[in-house]
Amino acid sequence: MLQSGDIISGMYQVIREIGTGGMGVIYIGYHLHLQKQIVIKKIKETCVDRVNVRGEADILKQLRHTYLPQVYDFLEVGNDVYTVMDYIPGENLQYYIDHNYTFPEETILLWMRELCEVLDYLHTRKPRILHSDIKPANIMVTPEGDICLIDFNISLDGSVTQEVQGLSRRYASPEQFRCAMDKMYGRKSSETLDERMDIYSLGGGLLPNDERVSA
């Protein structure tokens, strides 16, 4: 477990833990060279063998888009694995849902256009990037009022990672669930996972129910 003040690889200083997820523990940190806040994500030991973290980090470091965080580094320190990326200020959509916020229709449409734009960018990379876990907790709303799609340690690219890593109830597509059930019961899955699963999740991730939109 990282502690406040710890320095990783002589460059990234831990400030504090800010959350945990299915795949890792997330810390706010400080980039000592760039002199800016960052996010350090420690991949849980039980999950390291489930993802090709180096392959994904190498792909994600090449991405440049307004609505994506910049991935800076991939680190293996002893038996620990970390990714380092931009710190995105603001709250995620799950926060606003939990606190019963409503938003004007034009704001929802703006966010939908931004998310469609970033998905089009990801899906047309070579190799393509499939996020596979689009949900409110992975959609940040920045202080400027734009969105940022986060949490790519479970992304698929069709050649690096072949298994489903993200599976969030209410947001995952039916084919993701069928593929997961096949894997759970040791069956060979005939499901094809492609861009459509992200598009399916986008509808539920941004508009979990009609009560969240007010004209």
Q: What Rg do the C-alpha atoms of the chain give, in angstroms?
A: 17
Per the document, the length of the chain is 215
Q: Is 139 helix (H, G, I), strand (E, B) or coil?
A: strand
Characterize 60-83 residue by residue with b for buried, 16 or more Cβ atoms within 10 angstroms of its Cβ, and e for exposed: bbebeeebbbebbbbbeeeeebbb
E strand map for 21-117: 24-31, 36-43, 71-77, 80-86, 91-92, 103-104
Cβ pair 198, 168 in contact under 8 A: no
Euclidean distance between the first and the last CA atom of the chain, given in angstroms as a whole number:
46
Q: Is 6 a catalytic site residue?
A: no
| Integer Cα distance of 101 and 124 in angstroms | 34
Location of structure tokens 């970390």 = 82
**Helix, strand, coil share of the chain (percent; to 5):** 30, 25, 45
Single out the catalytic residue among 6, 58, 133, 198: 133
Q: Which residues are catalytic?
A: 133
